[in-house]
Structure 1
């Protein structure tokens, strides 16, 4: 049987050509990853340059930074006051706070981030989803290699007005979803407090059981206020308005810092007084935000069919998965500390409050990048989205380093002694503080990447990657806690944030998903 040599040559040429294309694509991907990382780190001397992107980030982030700083400050005041009651009360409240955060943030954070992204899009124009971004990114390049926005008739996309108030379906939908979630959270926390605390490592008859249960049941009353407050903050963030939430949260947190010590020390209400102060301040904040929003935005849409439940269900489910993975990992760390006893749990509560108070300040940069990127991508301004993403990462890195230096300085003058005088607790705190200080730049970048993902509606990747990260980090916490005790818990928490940062770099570094236009 004769074989046509031309056919063989054709096959060989085709095979070589295909192999060449694969290698070229692989090399192109490697070059892109390298160039992306170089772009991330270069130009740090211009990180605070006062150009359009820099000024917009500052305009959004600075008020948000103050507002976000007020809440952790109020939590620190609570911890200081409760710490004066004793190690048992401090440990009990630490577990209760972890439970409240697990149930409330598990459901609230998705609503907050969806509301901010949806409002930013509705206020800017129609949504361009991830599939559209991937399919048309290459064709959007102009001759000067800058991405240009598709032409749109601005009048067609202006939000409707009713009685001189803007009508945005995302606002009405978010408020309704928030109200329902608040009711669900109240029922779960109030009715199931005893069972939940037992699962968390506080056995029946423990000295921590009674104060923990009283605190959690009363905090449950404030759950609806927390949801509505976060929902309305998401609306203002969507409009790039962080000043209004600043005023409202500042008033609420100042009231909290007055009421908590008053109820604890003057009225002798103990941990119940701390919970009462929290609840009152939360309802005040929610009412202020609702009142301010209702002056310019219609809270009830003219037509019920305008409500966007499909979008909240579609993306909310993904963010619920993500929040579940995040909170379960954090709760596992608290549970492991509680199982080690009152002293380690009290120390863990102090370290956790300082860690979160410092780290969550980076959310100001994250929400600025989220609002700018969501608005830019809705209008097809891909160059603006790119600049906002990389600039916010650089600012976040610098901010994290600054926080580390500040915490290092405070720890050298006895930061932990502010919370308690118990020498045993302070000994454990000294083991956790190095991790709290060293991880701040990592934490800051991780939070900024969250804002970048949410701004690009990259909820699928945010959820999928977080599940993987949470599994790996939870395994580390579980195993390290049994080998190294208290230190092992903080090794696991540090790995959790490091992995969150790395998956963020991977998404942008490979220019995949909604970031395919970076190629």
Structure 2
């Protein structure tokens, strides 16, 4: 790992961004494969059961996504605090902080698991009127909540190692988990290869929890063995008040930003469903988001690697290099999404046509991609600045930007353009594009404001240097 640490602090910044970023991109693709496998197999339960099962998965997805967003937001504390201590050369403190974060994740996940298991039916009833879909959704959600500790452990492991500079090991662990899930889905749902009928729809939940359990066991083994840079012991799990307060100062805003954004997308979907007959714009949005989310995988990978680079260089007191990394990433992400936008303009109709043969949805989806792509490069700038602040540990500014983009700009613009000015579906697409431009411009201002240049672990760095 010394090679990657030298690359982060001394080598080509462009190479460092992609070297750290490509495994994160692969991990995101694996997560997509995870979800597609679940949908594929439950859809084969029969015409009625299959449709109800897919609807059940779709119904509870906002709850699952909310929990994942919250955990991943909290994981930014691992990236920021571990990367800064590694950059400062204080590996002992990096391990101690990592242990405390791991313990906090485990404790919180158990609480979430208990509350979620008890309240699963109530959550589903809030999302949809009673019916057969609700029964399936509640069953699925109860089992998923029981497995929350496994998900939280794996997410903690992923972000702690990313802070250290190792993005490949989490990728391999996620690959194992996805492969197990893909193999177990048909076995647990239908009993394929075995002399029994399977669990039916609920088998998909058992497969998910089992595969996550294997990933969590592997993750815990690697962390406690200490073979990949971060080394945990039972002693390192013991909380220190000052450390806990610092971790919470980084984790809480990041979690609020992540879960608040996830909730914002749920609200936007609900608003879109009320435009016209609801079906066409909602289908256009869903397909358009699938297309753009595949492009954004590259941006997510680069932004996560940027957070590690900024954190380690701030820890090494090399603010100038961290600033160069931020500027390079802004230009790079803007350029990548600029090229992607041109491609989308050229092939937007055939792309939408891959997912549907409905002419109305194809027309509306093409219109969405045309308008959204005009402003898409600014989203790259937005993500780059957010990553800089995440790496510095000042996540309250990332939270502010994230909530502003969705709750302060996008949702009000949709209400204004669609419901007050009666623009129809096209108002949704313009609202999404304009919110990215304004948020991107504000993010640039945040970057040059420079609050991120003071790392949250500065007192520790000073002590290490003095010693």
TM interval, short-chain normalised: 0.7 to 0.9
Which has the larger helix fraction?
Answer: 2
2:258 matched residue in structure 1: 323
Q: Distance in 2 between matches of 1:186 and 1:375?
A: 34
Which of residues 67, 78, 96 is equivalent to 2:27? 67
Q: 1:373 to 1:302 in 2, by over 3 A?
A: closer
Aligned ranges 1:4-403 → 2 under 5 Å: 52-81=12-41, 89-106=53-70, 108-125=71-88, 158-160=90-92, 168-200=95-127, 202-205=128-131, 208-260=133-185, 263=188, 271-296=201-226, 297-301=231-235, 304=238, 306=240, 308-337=243-272, 343=279, 348-403=285-340
Is residue 2:427 matched to residue 1:467?
Answer: no
Corresponding position of 2:442:
503
Is the Cα–Cα contact under 8 Å of residues 73 and 256 in structure 2 kept in the other structure? no
Q: Distance in 1 between matches of 2:185 and 2:358?
A: 22
Aligned-pair CA distance for 1:492: 4.1
In the alignment, the residues of structure 2 paired with residue 236 and residue 188 of structure 1 have an alpha-carbon distance, to the nearest angstrom, of: 29
Highest RCO, 1 vs 2 (Cα 8 Å, sep ≥ 6) = 1
Cα distance in 2 for residues equivalent to 1:224 and 1:63: 24
Q: Give distance in 1, aligned partners of 2:135 and 2:310.
A: 47
- Structure 1 residue 347 displacement after superposition: 5.8
Residue 44 of structure 1 is matched in structure 2 by: none
Where does residue 140 of structure 1 map in the other structure? Answer: none
CA contact (8 A) 2:314 2:453 kept: no
Instruction: Report the Cα offset of residue 385 of structure 1.
Output: 0.6
Aligned residues, how many?
A: 427
The two structures, once aligned, show a CA RMSD in angstroms of 3.5
Distance in 1 of aligned mates of 2:99 and 2:321: 29
User: Matches of 2:110 and 2:236 in 1, distance apart?
Assistant: 25
Change (3 A) 1:414 1:354: closer
CA contact (8 A) 1:354 1:436 kept: no
* Cα distance in 1 for residues equivalent to 2:184 and 2:347: 27
TM-score, normalising length from structure 1? 0.71
Where does the alignment leave 5 or more consecutive residues of structure 1 unmatched?
Answer: 1-49, 126-156, 161-165
Instruction: Report the secondary structure of 1:168's partner residue.
Output: helix
Q: Structure 2: 5+ residue runs without aligned partners?
A: 1-9, 456-467
CA contact (8 A) 2:385 2:447 kept: no
Distance, in Å, in 2 between the alignment partners of 1:257 and 1:410 is: 31
Contact 2:287 2:352 in 1 (8 A): no
The answer (yes or no) to whether the contact 1:95–1:334 under 8 Å persists in 2 is no
* CA apart distance, 1:457: 2.3
What is the CA distance between 1:324 and its match in structure 2? 4.0
Q: Post-superposition shift, 1:486?
A: 5.2
